[in-house]
Each structure stands twice: as C-alpha cells, then as structure tokens.
Amino acid sequence: MKMLFHILSFEWKTLWRSNTLKVLLLVVFGAGIYGIYFGKFEIDKQQKRIAKVQQYERQQFDSLMLWVELDTTITSNKEKYQQAVSPTGVGWNKHFTYYLTNNAPPAAGLCLGQRDLYPVYYGFNVTDLARQVNTGELANPMKLLTGNFDLSYVFVFLFPLLVVALFYNLYAGEKEGGTLSLLQSQSTSLRTILFSKGLLRLTMIWLLAAVLLLLSFALQGISFLENGVLFFQWLAIIYGYCLFWVVLMGAAVALRLSSALSAMLGLGIWLIFALITPALLNLFVLANEPLPNRAEMIHAVRTLNGRNWEHPKSFVWDRFYPENPQYNDGDTTNFSKWYYASFTLLDKEANALKAEFEKQVSKRNALLDQWQWLAPAAMVHEKLSTLSDTDRESHLEFVKEVHAYHDGLKELYYARIFKGEQFSSDDLQTLSDKL
C-alpha cells in the first residue's frame, strides 16, 4: 500500500511537470467549457423562440378578451365581438391559433440530442390537426449534419481520445525513455507500477469529467436540488464510459507495443467504436430499411376531405355520431355542425395512418437498438440524450401533448358549436387559462 502511494506520488510529480499533459487537459477542458457555453446558447435560442410564440399567443388572446366586452351597439365593434364569441370563427381561416410549446427540460443544454430536428412549438386551431402539424423548424441542414458541439459531444468523443492520449505510452514511454530496466530491477512488479500509473490517469480523467459536469450545472443554471439524481446518473454513465475506454487501452498497453504502434492501435479502437461501427449500422439499417412515405397521410386526408364534400351530409354523420353520441341531437342539416364533424373524421384517418407509420419506424429503430452495443459511443450518447429528455421519444411525447391539448380545445368548442351557442366570458376565461 505504501509502495502504491509512493509510485502514485512520484508519477504525479512527473506527470505534472510534463507540458504535454497540461496542454491535453487544458484543450479538453477548453472544449468542455465551449460545449457548456454552446449548449446554453442553443437552448437559450430555442427558449427565446418559445417566449416569442407564447407572447404573441397571449397578445392575440388578450384582444379577444377585450373584444368580448365591446359595446355592440357601435357597428364597428360588431365584427370584433363576433370574432371573440363565435366558436366557428368569422369567415374563412379566422380561427384563433393556439400554440403549444415544448419547453426545454432542465438538462437539455448538456445534450441537445435530437431536439434541433423538430419544432419546439406547434400552432393550430380547432379545425383538423392533421393538416396543421406538417411543419418543421427552419434549420440549416449543414448544421444538423455536423451536429452540436455540446458537453455530451465532449464526453462521448473527446474523452476517449484523452484516454488514448494518456495511456498509449504507459509502457512504451518507459521502454523508449530507457527507464524500463530500472523499474524492472525494483522489488515491486512492473504490473503494479503500470497499474498505479493507469489508476492515476483514470483518476485525473474522472476528476476532469466531474469538474466539467459540476461547472455545466453551475454555468447553465441547472438546479442541483431538483436535478441531483440527474447529476449522478450523468456522472455514473460518464465514469463507466471512461472506465470502458481505460480497460480497452489497458488491454492495448498489455500488448507491450512501441509507442507509435500503441498510439495507432488506440486511435484505431477509437475510430472503430466512435465512427466506424455507428456509420456501418447506419448504412445497413438507415440506408437500407425503407422509411414510410409520410406524404401518404397528406394524400389520405385530402382524399377523405374530397369525399366529405362530394357525398351527402349523411356520409359524415354516419361516421361521426356513433363515436360521438354526446353531440347527437338529431340535427343533420346544420352546416357548422357538419363542417366541424368532418374535421374529426380527417384527424381520425390521419391518426390511424400515423400510428401505422410509427410502428414501421419503431421496428426500424428497434433494429438499430438491437445492434447498438456494437457502437458504445452512440449508445452512451443516446442514453445521455434520453436522460436529458432530448431524444426522439421526448419529441413524440410532446406531439402526444399537442394531440391532447387539441382534443381539449375541441371539447370546449364543439360543446358550443353543437348547441348553436356562442362563447360566454367564462368560456373565454377557461380558454385563456389553458394557454
């Protein structure tokens, strides 16, 4: 034990005198700080967009709240008043647009994940959702391709490189420096010495990871109290991942190759696990397993829409009333009722198809998951992104919320439309509280 301590303290002194080490640590530390800054920058940008959308929605709704109080004996007020109280809107496309936003989860800035691929807000009115959610966010595809320089990138890509850089000459450095024979003449076995050297390096890497993670929480304003578990989950994953690389490099060192060869071997292993296996999986699965043609959904909706209009009104009623008996008062002539009932049919058709597509996509992604263990870097990245709620699943959850919100709106609107009533001030207050 004393010997181990002795070796450690000596190794620490030599390491600390080496400029290479300082430069390496500084570069990775700098990259980590940039990653923290960049993650925050991106999330702030998304949050600013969200704030703008919310502010716009609030402003618009506040005018409705004012218009409902207007004196309708004045002619010029009439249209505004109607717009506020009519659940069917006034004229075409005069419906109020509601926005639902996907606020950034606390740790989104640590791992931006797939969040940049999807819109963080959807705008929709009470008509069918199907034709309103086919939208994306403006993004330079080049930026999406090169990906984000966030903290998860530093951990997943650069930390393994740091491991390689610190370990490749663990043995060869002694041999080529001429100190190996000196070491071998000691009473302590060479293995113990190499092990303690490795241990010291691993400790340094772990320490750097912990410092960066702590800093990221502090600099991104993530509350420790509320996200303490998340912090330790991140730490555990990163520690495990670094250890995995240390073990790999340890095995490489055990081959006792020259420093040049072990550097090449280390980099080769890094290439295989961080670049080649994920790229091969993507080639076999993504490029060769066909994706559903989502344009089919738009086609199905437009076709059904055409049929709704071409057929007698009973075409819609026969499909709408059995599933929504609460609205059935026997009226089959009212245009508004028919018009809004038809939107429900469109959504039903679209949702059935979407579920079908999602099944197909899940099957394809499950195939990727099945082989994910071949690509530990991608596996860890996906895990971090799941922890931070920035993966594809999190977006699908948001889409589910959008559907639920839309259904809630419909309930309020349809209750009035099917009774031929207007919104009361209380109704508007209820809607306003939902914003």
Beta carbon of residue 392, minimum distance to another protein (angstroms, whole number): 5
Q: Is 293 in the site for another protein (CB under 8 A)?
A: yes
Token digits of residue 310: 């071409």
Q: Is 278 in the site for another protein (CB under 8 A)?
A: yes
Alpha carbons 263 and 255: distance in angstroms, whole number: 12
Q: Which residues of 48-67 are buried (b: 16+ CB within 10 A; e: fewer)?
A: eebeebbeebeeebeebeeb
Residues 357-376 touching another protein, rule: CB under 8 A, are 361, 364-365, 368-369, 372, 375
Contact assessment for residue 317 and residue 332, using Cβ atoms and an 8 Å cutoff:
yes
Among 10, 29, 118, 321, interactor with another protein by CB under 8 A? 118
Alpha carbons 254 and 262: distance in angstroms, whole number: 10
Could you tell me which of 201, 250, 162 has the C-alpha nearest to residue 11? 201
Closer CB to another protein, 210 or 264, in the complex: 264
Q: Is 264 in the site for another protein (CB under 8 A)?
A: yes
Alpha carbons 247 and 205: distance in angstroms, whole number: 13
Could you tell me which of 428, 347, 429, 362 has the C-alpha nearest to residue 392? 362
Contact assessment for residue 152 and residue 159, using Cβ atoms and an 8 Å cutoff:
no
Q: Which range binds another protein by CB under 8 A, 68-76, 242-250, 277-285, 406-414?
A: 277-285
Q: Is 286 in the site for another protein (CB under 8 A)?
A: yes
Beta carbon of residue 15, minimum distance to another protein (angstroms, whole number): 17
Beta carbon of residue 127, minimum distance to another protein (angstroms, whole number): 15
Among 252, 263, 345, 417, interactor with another protein by CB under 8 A? 263
Token pair 């309020």 is at which residue? 412
Beta carbon of residue 268, minimum distance to another protein (angstroms, whole number): 7
Residues 141-180 touching another protein, rule: CB under 8 A, are 141-149, 153, 157-158, 161, 176
Token digits of residue 190: 């060479």
Closer CB to another protein, 273 or 340, in the complex: 273
Closer CB to another protein, 95 or 410, in the complex: 95
Q: Which range binds another protein by CB under 8 A, 188-196, 275-283, 332-340, 423-431?
A: 275-283
Beta carbon of residue 305, minimum distance to another protein (angstroms, whole number): 9
Residues 59-78 touching another protein, rule: CB under 8 A, are none
Beta carbon of residue 359, minimum distance to another protein (angstroms, whole number): 12
Among 22, 26, 44, 52, interactor with another protein by CB under 8 A? 52
Alpha carbons 242 and 162: distance in angstroms, whole number: 10
The sign of the CA dihedral 167, 172, 175, 178 is negative
Which residues neighbour 428 within 8 Å (Cβ) at sequence distance 6 or greater? 64, 65, 68, 84, 85
Q: What letter would DSSP give residue 435? A: -
Q: What letter would DSSP give residue 187? A: S
Strands (E), 75-127: 98-101, 121-124
Beta carbon of residue 141, minimum distance to another protein (angstroms, whole number): 4
Among 58, 94, 294, 434, interactor with another protein by CB under 8 A? 294
Q: Look up residue 282 and give its amino acid.
A: N
Among 178, 221, 290, 330, interactor with another protein by CB under 8 A? 290
- CA dihedral of residues 23, 24, 27, 31 (deg, nearest 10): -170
Alpha carbons 139 and 118: distance in angstroms, whole number: 10
Residues 189-248 touching another protein, rule: CB under 8 A, are none
Closer CB to another protein, 187 or 288, in the complex: 288
Among 134, 186, 203, 429, interactor with another protein by CB under 8 A? 134
Q: What letter would DSSP give residue 421? A: P
Contact assessment for residue 368 and residue 281, using Cβ atoms and an 8 Å cutoff:
yes
Could you tell me which of 128, 132, 185 has the C-alpha nearest to residue 316? 128
Alpha carbons 10 and 176: distance in angstroms, whole number: 19
Closer CB to another protein, 74 or 295, in the complex: 295
Beta carbon of residue 87, minimum distance to another protein (angstroms, whole number): 23
Beta carbon of residue 426, minimum distance to another protein (angstroms, whole number): 30
Binding mask 8-47 for another protein (x = CB under 8 A): -----------------------x--x---x--x---x--
Q: Look up residue 19 and give its amino acid.
A: N
Closer CB to another protein, 149 or 171, in the complex: 149
Beta carbon of residue 184, minimum distance to another protein (angstroms, whole number): 22
Q: Is 123 in the site for another protein (CB under 8 A)?
A: yes
Residues 305-334 touching another protein, rule: CB under 8 A, are 306
Beta carbon of residue 302, minimum distance to another protein (angstroms, whole number): 6
